[in-house]
Chains A and B, each alone.
Chain A
Amino acid sequence: MQKVFANATEALDGLLEDGMLIAAGGFGLCGIPELLLDAIKAAGTKDLTFASNNAGVDDFGIGILLQTKQVKKMMSSYVGENAEFMRQYLSGELELEFNPQGTLAERMRAGGAGIPGFYTQTGVGTVIAEGKDVKSWNGKDYILEEGIFADLSIVKAWKADETGNAIFRKTARNFNVPAAKCGKVCVLEVEEIVPTGSLDPDAIHLPGIYVNRIIQGDHEKRIEQRTTRPREEA
């Protein structure tokens, strides 16, 4: 069981296919699999569908794959930070399926747990409910949402051991856990691969069973909105 690969390109070898569905972790630019996205850009894989909460910014995150026109469709909850995205969407080059954020997360979680559909109150009476089955429990309506079964998961954690047991840091966990679980294959990039046995087994956020391939690398970790208070206030 050799899960550790030398770099992102090698870790993705044999996994990329035109037209595939990729689940990607991250929220905004926080905790995104930046090394794997770079490698997908270099591989030139086309007509990709991404299940990802956001679409990055013009020159970082999934945005870099929009520039090269490698993305056919996005399944997201919020795409407001990306001008190239808007241009392609408004010109009809790019498909967009809006998902409420919690519905998107639960669709990934459900897919990873082998659950093909679930009912939720989120979106009842809105455009999100159009064409979806409605059921009532105790006088309240719920709509049917489907689990996401991705061809590939690309996610980023803080540290992992050589078996793929991974831990995340602060709010960089976000969509990485549900995205990791819903793919047929999951590739994980981390800031540091540590020796197996050195992580506290009680503190694992993502057990290694969900992770097929691991790489370590340097991350830019760009900040989208730098908000601070002055030092004298503290």
Chain B
Amino acid sequence: MAWDRNQMAARAAQELEDGMYVNLGIGIPTLVANYVGDKDITLQSENGMLGMGPFPIEGDEDADLINAGKQTITELDRTAYFDSAESFAMIRGGKIAAAILGAMEVAENGDLANWMIPGKLVKGMGGAMDLVAGVGRVIVVMDHANKHGESKLLKECTLPLTGKGVVDRIITNFGVLDVVEGGLKIVEVADGVTEDELRAATEATIVN
């Protein structure tokens, strides 16, 4: 019955190719790192690091070594450090091949909303707006429906946007869809889901 969080992350990992520099968002996107297998992927952390390693062994935490989620991490042989202006220069300059991010809503024209809900606590966009505007390819990983069972793939976003027309591919628990001219195109249907179920669960226009 549909994909779970780990299966979605594993499917997202298939999007990555040897040699890519990639930025992973918080939540399910973070799990993608567990499924890259033998592929030579370098992870960027936008607070100023290329070549992000796993969490440290207990006792080895270093206050000077954190990821963009402020979690303690480790470095690798290939690691390079730099300042925040340099970090976003490589993002804005299109050097990062892909970003894999979570979302609250995606519209059929590729609009993305993932940073604020009016009336709720506003924490800020962090680096999300820079990433979606700058990286080569934006891949969204999210649940197909919200907790009320309503589609998060919409004709138009209702929430304030993170970026306009920025999403390339959406991976949900129901399957994989691409943003194309006129709407979303089904690329793949998740195990245990039929194409009709996927269509029925989607508010956005699906084109053939």
Chain B residues lying within 8 Å of A28, measured Cβ to Cβ, are 47, 66, 70
How many Å lie between the Cα of A169 and that of B124 in the bound state? 27
Other-chain residue from A80, A120, A126, A230 in contact with B163 (beta carbon distance below 8 A): A126
Shortest B94–chain A CB gap in Å is 10
Minimum CB–CB distance from B74 to chain A (whole Å) comes to: 9
Confirm or deny: A227 has a beta carbon within 8 angstroms of a beta carbon on chain B.
Answer: yes
Are B48 and A223 closer than 8 Å at their CB atoms?
no
The A218-234 residues at the B interface (CB cut-off 8 A) are 221-231, 233-234
Contact B58 A231 (CB under 8 A): yes
A171 in contact with B48 given A86-B121, A227-B55 (CB within 8 Å): yes
A223 and B125 within 8 A (CB): no
**How many residues on chain A are close to B (CB under 8 Å)?**
58
Q: Are A77 and B124 in contact (CB under 8 A)?
A: yes
A174 touches B83 (CB 8 A): yes
A106 to B84, CA, bound (A): 8
Does A116 belong to the interface (CB within 8 Å)?
no
In the complex, per-residue mask of A76-90: 1 if CB is within 8 Å of any chain B CB, else 0: 111111000010000
- Chain A residues, CB < 8 A from B60: 228
B64 touches A221 (CB 8 A): yes
Return chain B residues, CB-CB under 8 Å to A170.
49, 62, 64-65, 75, 81
Q: Which of A122, A126, A229 meets B56, CB within 8 Å?
A: A229
Stretch from A5-13, A40-48, A96-104, A207-215 forming part of the interface with B: A96-104
Residues of chain A within 8 A of B61, CB atoms compared: 223, 226-228
Instruction: Report B-chain residues with C-beta under 8 Å of the C-beta of A30.
Output: 47, 63-64, 66, 70
Question: Once the chains are docked, how many angstroms separate the CA of A223 from the CA of B72?
Answer: 8
Would you list which residues of chain B between 138 and 185 have a CB under 8 Å from chain A? 160-165
Q: Are B58 and A228 in contact (CB under 8 A)?
A: yes
How far, in Å, is B164 (CB) from chain A's closest CB?
Answer: 3
Within residues 113 to 152 of chain B, which ones have a CB less than 8 A from any CB in chain A? 121-130, 133-134
Give the contact-size bracket for chain B. Answer: 35 or more
Q: Knowing A77-B125, A78-B124, A227-B71, say if A171 contacts B160 (CB, 8 Å).
A: no
- From B57, B161, B165, A229 is in contact (CB under 8 Å) with B57
A71 to B57, CA, bound (A): 39
Q: Does B42 contact A (CB under 8 A)?
A: no
Contact B57 A178 (CB under 8 A): no
Q: Contact between B56 and A228 (Cβ–Cβ < 8 Å)?
A: yes
Determine the residue in chain B with the shortest Cβ distance to A90.
Answer: B121
Instruction: Report how far A221 CA is from B72 CA in the complex, Å.
Output: 13
By a CB distance below 8 angstroms, the chain B residues around A199 are none
Closest-CB distance, B116 to chain A (whole angstroms): 9
Does A117 belong to the interface (CB within 8 Å)?
A: no
Answer whether residue B99 sits at the interface, using C-beta atoms and an 8 A cutoff: no
Task: Kindly list chain A residues whose C-beta atoms are within 8 Å of the C-beta of B164.
Answer: 124-126
Partner of A225, one of B72, B92, B123, B134: B72
Which residue, of A103, A108, A170, A226, has the highest number of chain B Cβ atoms within 10 A?
A170
Q: List 6 A-B contacts (CB under 8 A).
A: A78-B126, A86-B121, A124-B133, A175-B84, A177-B83, A228-B55
B residues sitting closer than 8 Å to A (CB atoms) are 45-49, 54-67, 69-73, 75, 81-89, 91-92, 111, 121-130, 133-134, 160-165
